[in-house]
Amino acid sequence: MDSKLISIIVPSFNRADLIGETLNSVFSQTYQKWECIIVDDGSSDNTIDIINSFIEKDNRFSFIKRNRLPKGAPTCRNIGLDFSNGEFIIYLDSDDILAPYCLEQRINKFSVHFDMDFLVFKSLLFVDKPFSNGFYWNIDNEENDLARFIKLDALWQTSGPIYKKEFLLKMNGFKEDLLFWQDYDLHLRCLLKKGLYLKFFDSPVDVYIRDGRKDTISRSTPFTGDIRILKKRIDFYYDILNEYQTQLSKEHLKSLFSILFFFSAQYIVRHGKYLTFLKHWIKINRFNKNSFSIYKSLINVLLIKLSSRFSFFLKISDNFLKNNLNKIPDYYVLRKSNLGKINNID
């Protein structure tokens, strides 16, 4: 597979302090058959000067200015996909770093598993320098991948997979109108659409993800504190239910109803809107053929709200949940995931 071209697509915005290190990691690849397309989102610093310095050094680098709305990394990535020439695609953020063997490792695996739509590799978080922080992005376990993704326990991030371009085109790339979870949405759709894939989490880490950056291109949004964003998050999962409910297993639906319960409960826990919670929860329960107890679900949420002021109510809530597992969904679905609890490397 030495003749197969890999397209690396990098969205950029005001990353003059970091993008040079990112592009240098591409330049240093042991696998030589690549192109790197940088799509800028309107940088006002000297990011473009740095990009041009790499283009002058190696014509495998190319530069495009975002030429349409909306602004943001998803649009830039889709533009890069449109202009790409490679049979395989890797998305790389403008502050992350590829290991020198990254492309070689990934293309070698595809040479053995060419029937797959995408392959996934292990990522390592770092702060200042690769290897300076010993945390994986996430770890594998026995739980179903889709069930984990549904409850926001994302096994991989943007740069973890290598895709066949034809598969990404079938997926219509990134959704550009989403205010949040653009990467997560693509990964989730790849699984929901039953894309063929393999994970190589036993292979060496081949991409390093800079941790702790707040000034991302896709602006961060409050998780549940902004009530408008909260509604959009719930609508995000309604769309999944409407389109995929008949295809999902009991395990997937359990994760889906639990995460919907968590977000709906925030109308009470964070905003004190009891009727809004009931409205949403009755709607959600209809999807589940009214198998949940609205009454007991409301009691559980009220106990959780009280626990924010009186800690002993948390234990009461836990016991109430354990005694009613078949009547109410699991509010603590996020607490039980690996989200935010990346395991140390041995």
List pLDDT tens digits, range 69-128: 999 999 999 999 999 999 999 999 999 999 999 999 999 999 999 999 999 999 999 887
Choice among 31-35, 57-61, 64-68, 266-270 with the minimum mean pLDDT? 266-270
Cα(331)–Cα(94) distance, integer angstroms: 36
pTM over 0.85: yes
Q: Over 80: is that where the pLDDT of 38 sits?
A: yes
Q: Over 70: is that where the pLDDT of 6 sits?
A: yes
pLDDT for the residue 250:
86
The 3-state DSSP composition of the chain as helix, strand, coil percent (nearest 5) reads 45, 15, 45
Burial of 308 (0-12, 13-18, 19+ CB in 10 A): exposed
Residue with tokens 């009470």: 268
Band of residue 159 on the pLDDT scale cut at 50, 70, 90: very high
Nearest to residue 127, comparing CAs of 205, 204, 213, 206? 213
Nearest to residue 39, comparing CAs of 91, 77, 86, 90? 77
Please state whether the peptide bond connecting residue 100 to the residue before it is cis, i.e. omega within 30 degrees of 0.
no
Please check whether residue 81 is in contact with residue 171, taking contact to mean a CB–CB distance below 8 angstroms.
Answer: no
101 to each of 27, 58, 203, how far by Cα in Å? Answer: 11, 19, 11
